[in-house]
Structures are given as structure tokens and as C-alpha cells.
Structure 1
Amino acid sequence: MTSRLAAFWSRSPTWRKIATVAGVSFLIVATWIGQGVASVFGQHDAYAEYWEARSEEPGDLLYVALGDSAAQGVGATDPEDGYVGQIVRHVEQATDMTVRIVNLSVTGARTADVLETQLPQLRSVVQESGEPDLITLDVGGNDATNTPAAVFEEQFDELLCELPAGTLVADLPDFQGGPRLEESRRLSAIAREVITEHPDLVPVALEAATRPITMLDYSPDFFHPDDSGYEYWASAYIEQLPEALGGDGAEPASAVFDAEAAEDGES
């Protein structure tokens, strides 16, 4: 500190010193958050390119992922540390077989986008490579506050009607707070009702599984999970994997979502 600055500081009243320190601290925190948000945003294209290249790698089993940025793993330190990558590791360890992953998810995707783009791509994969051994879907988070509930219900039901039997389908994650919280919970309840109407699909209680997540489990953008946050996501899907893929065997929607409703009543 220069002598002139030191003299100014020594003559400054306490309130000015406190305000100065607070201002500097705010700038440091704001800069850190801004850099964090920018780093996560930069993952969008990088992770999409990663999964496109990864789909060319062969495997004993075929896994197709549908969904939004969560299926891309945005927020994790590496694409493979998102919930899709964690599912792959679990299946490979449990079966001692390699997994070819075709990740068709797109950051920002809504239910309509999965219907219009990802579903036709899934059909192409089936035609070229045969029926997948595993398909997972997460969607709806971007519909919250953007898609009217009635429209979401119609589109979600249409999507589920087109999915192959055995597809693992989740309700919405718990948003913890923020502007999407109320609407996301409304859409999540709708999703559970629709999933229950499709007994050939496998329900995943994602909202209940992600409820314990804390701010320490989020990436620097405070929206997407980080590696530990995605562990909660992965566990929800892994619980419903068939025994042949290292799971306990899928439970019907009535059992999965009834248990979730009971937890809601206790909380």
C-alpha cells in the first residue's frame, strides 16, 4: 500500500472502510460467479461434440439417452460425470460388459423438441443398430414456465406413447427454489400421472431422489448439478434398472410414486 493510500485509509471513518471492504468482496464474488457461469455455458457445445464422438465407440450393450442438458451432463466436470455417464459406469461394472452410448439429448430441449427431433433419431438408431438394451428419458425442466401445463401433458403423453417398452422415464427434478419451483412441481405431478398410464414403461422417481440435494451439489451456475449432484440423478435411474443391467428390478409406477407421495405427506 502506498504512503498516500495508507494515509487516506487511516483517516477514513469506519463506515467507509466497511463499505470499501464490502464492495471489494462483492466484486470478487460477482467475478467468481460470472466466471463459473461462463465456464458452464462453455460446456454446451463441448459436451455435445463429446457425445457425438462417443457414439461411434462400439460396445457390447447399446444405451440411448434422451433429454435435455442434464442428460448431456452440463455442470459436471466431465461429460462422463453426469448421470448418463454414471449409469454407463454402473452397468459396465455390474455386467462386465462394455456400453455403447448414443446420447441424443440436447441442451435446452423441451418435450416438443424430444418429440420432433430426438424421437426420429431414436428410430434411426433402432433401424441401424437394433433395439437398445437401455433407454432413459429426462425432460420437462425447460418446459416449466415455458409450456402451459395442458400442452405439456398432451405432448408428454404423446411422447410416451412412442417410446419402446422398458424405457426408463423420470418425472421432473426438485428445483429446490427459484422461479421455476412451483411450476416444475406442477409439471412433475402431471408427468407422474401420465407415466402411470403407461405400464410398459419404467418409472423413475427423480423429484424424490433429488430433494436432498444442497447448494454444495450444484455447479457454479447454481442451476445444473455438479458431479455429486448428478449422483442423486444416477441413483434414481439405477434403482429401476432391470437385474440384467445391475439393478434391483423395476417397480411399477404405483409402487414408485406412491412411496414418493408418502414421503411428501411426512415432510
Structure 2
Amino acid sequence: MAVAATLLALLAACGGGSGSTPTTPTSPTPPAQNVPVVYTPIGASDAAGVGASVPCLPLATSCRESTAYVGLIQRRLAETRTVSLLNLALPGGVLSPDIEAIGDELGRNIPGNFLTMLVPFVPPTTTLVTVFAGGNDTNTLALAVAAGRGGADPSTYIAQQVQGFARDYGRLIDAVRSRAPGAFIVVANVPNFGALPYVAGRPVAERRIVQEIAVRLTRDAINPLSSRVPVVDLMCDARSYQPGAYSADGFHPSDQGYAYLAEAYLQAITTGTAAAPQASCAAMTLVG
């Protein structure tokens, strides 16, 4: 909890929590060429660049030297314009209070959630937001299933939790738009974590649970957001499953993986759109 408390205190000291008039914008457009960008990424350890050779620390206002995706995006955009950054990274964080509570009940010691701890500090002048949520949520829900939540019918339990995740992701988008009406928001779905190196040594039954959670979060909660914001499809992109894309822990991206994430986000940022995420693909069933 120390990381979360420090983050909250620093944000408050910066005045990030000051109120703004809630509005609902029509359709924010991506930052135009040669127009200054105010970039506010929202994420967990990925936004902080854990696993990268040069990370991007929480609350950093410049990450141009970083090899993580936040720094790479800032550097690319800065080639043609001024880019201001406030890195709202919460390592270990999850999307919602509900999943945070589940993790805490199971002794996971979740440091906080994006919805209540990060979104209130999005600067009202923000013009670009990237969101990556679901990794720690997947692992927390997998731990809950292993602890017996859901009993003999874990699929029903998982479906209920995914429904809550979808509701809270929608609330996050609404809250960001209320604080920063001109912000262009890009989100990414999650890859099939059951097929990633960090769970490779676990029993197949456990990997199937991790796969089911990740696939449902992507398919049933994140992909439907594509009617509101561009959704970058990591689940069905073969690059998400290249061994070199992950650092030594098998979970966090390597420099190669962060470069891939940056390119995926930048395509949506620069064009203002993303290809519709696939409803099904071979990557959703990699764990047989």
C-alpha cells in the first residue's frame, strides 16, 4: 500500500484532484499534427515500464529516454510537436474496486485501482489517454478461482466478474471524458495470458482458467468498447505470443514487447481508428 499512498499524496500535492465541470463530448479526435499533446497514460506496471531496460516511473513528466511504450509514444509524437506527460502508472493496480477487494481478501495486497485512484487525477487539459487494464485483474481472478470462489462452477463466477469489469471499464471511460472532454482515448484488450511464459510451468487446468478469464475480459468486456473508443487488439495479434516480447519474468514485456505495444497504440493514435477487434481467433484457444 506504500506505493499507492505515495502516488496519491504526490498527485494531491500537484493539484491533480481539483474539480472540473463534467461534460460529455461528441467525438474527440486524435491530436493533430503540429499541435501540442497532453498525454496521460493509465496503466499498471506496464505503464511504468517494468521489464524494460529503461522504465518510465509513475508520475513522470518526461520519459523520452524510456524503452517502455509510454516513453516510445511520447518520443514519437514529440518528433512533430510538444508533448506534455503525466504518467498515471500504478504498479500492481487493477481496474476496479471490486477486483481490488477480491485481491485483498485473498492476501494479494492490491495497491489500488484505476477507477478511484487514477482517473480523478487526469488533468482536464489532457488530449490523449491510453489505457491498458486486465493483467493484474486476470491473475487476481485466477487466484480467486484457485481459492474456491465459484465452487464447482467457476465459469459462472468468472462471467459475473467479467460483467462487473465491463461495467467499471465503461465508468472509467465516462469519468475520463468528464474530466478531460477533449481527450482522445485509446484502449488495448489483453492477450491470452494462459499462453504466456509466466504460466508455462503450471498445470494445464490452471492455465485453462487463466485463458478463460483473459479471453472473456477481452471478448466480453473490452472489445465492446470499440463502439466508443479505438480498441487495439492484442489478443489476436501473433506478436503478443513471441517469446522475445517478454522479460525474464515471462509476464512483463521486454524492450521488444514494449516496442510492439507502442506501435499498436500509435497506429490508432495517428489514424484516429483501429481495426475492429476479432470476435474469435486461434489465440483464444492456445491452451487446449
> Where does residue 109 of structure 1 map in the other structure?
93
- The one-letter code sitting in structure 1 at the alignment partner of 2:42 is L
> Where does residue 159 of structure 1 map in the other structure?
169
Write the distance in 1 (CA, Å) between the matches of 2:259 and 2:207.
21
Write the distance in 2 (CA, Å) between the matches of 1:156 and 1:265.
19
Does residue 139 in structure 1 map to residue 133 in structure 2? yes
Q: CA deviation at 1:74?
A: 0.6
**Residue pair 2:45, 2:89 contacting (<8 A) in 1 also:** yes
Q: 1:181 to 1:86 in 2, by over 3 A?
A: farther
SS in 2 for 1:151: helix
Write the distance in 1 (CA, Å) between the matches of 2:266 and 2:233.
11
Q: CA deviation at 1:64?
A: 0.5
**Residue pair 1:111, 1:152 contacting (<8 A) in 2 also:** no
TM-score normalised over the length of structure 2: 0.59
Q: 1:78 to 1:136 in 2, by over 3 A?
A: same
> Where does residue 168 of structure 1 map in the other structure?
186
Note the 1:1-267 alignment, pairs <5 A: 60-79=36-55, 80-93=66-79, 96-112=80-96, 113-122=113-122, 125-126=123-124, 130=125, 132-147=126-141, 149=158, 150-163=160-173, 164=177, 166-175=184-193, 176-177=195-196, 178=199, 181-186=207-212, 187-198=214-225, 199-209=227-237, 211-241=239-269, 247-251=270-274, 255-258=275-278, 261=280, 264=283
Q: CA deviation at 1:262?
A: 5.1
SS in 1 for 2:93: coil
Q: Deviations over 1:150-182 (max 9, x none)?
A: 224313422323322741111113433315753
**Residue pair 2:67, 2:255 contacting (<8 A) in 1 also:** yes
**Residue pair 1:141, 1:184 contacting (<8 A) in 2 also:** no
- The one-letter code sitting in structure 1 at the alignment partner of 2:164 is E
**Residue pair 2:162, 2:216 contacting (<8 A) in 1 also:** no
- The one-letter code sitting in structure 2 at the alignment partner of 1:116 is T
Q: CA deviation at 1:197?
A: 3.7
- The one-letter code sitting in structure 1 at the alignment partner of 2:132 is D
**Residue pair 1:168, 1:202 contacting (<8 A) in 2 also:** yes
- The one-letter code sitting in structure 1 at the alignment partner of 2:41 is A
Q: 1:184 to 1:62 in 2, by over 3 A?
A: farther
Which of these two proteins has the greater Rg computed from alpha carbons? 1
**Residue pair 2:95, 2:114 contacting (<8 A) in 1 also:** yes
Q: CA deviation at 1:203?
A: 0.8
Q: CA deviation at 1:207?
A: 2.1
Identity of aligned residues (%): 26
**Residue pair 1:86, 1:234 contacting (<8 A) in 2 also:** yes
Structure richer in helix, relative to its length: 1
SS in 1 for 2:164: helix
Q: Deviations over 1:49-91 (max 9, x none)?
A: xx99xx9xxx931011111111111110112211111111222
Write the distance in 1 (CA, Å) between the matches of 2:52 and 2:280.
30
- The one-letter code sitting in structure 2 at the alignment partner of 1:77 is S
Q: CA deviation at 1:92?
A: 1.9
Write the distance in 1 (CA, Å) between the matches of 2:262 and 2:82.
18
Q: CA deviation at 1:119?
A: 1.5
SS in 2 for 1:168: strand
Q: CA deviation at 1:184?
A: 4.5
Q: 1:141 to 1:265 in 2, by over 3 A?
A: closer
Higher relative contact order (CA 8 A, sep 6+): 2
Q: 1:90 to 1:66 in 2, by over 3 A?
A: same
Write the distance in 2 (CA, Å) between the matches of 1:62 and 1:223.
29
* Cα RMSD after superposing both structures: 3.3
SS in 2 for 1:66: strand
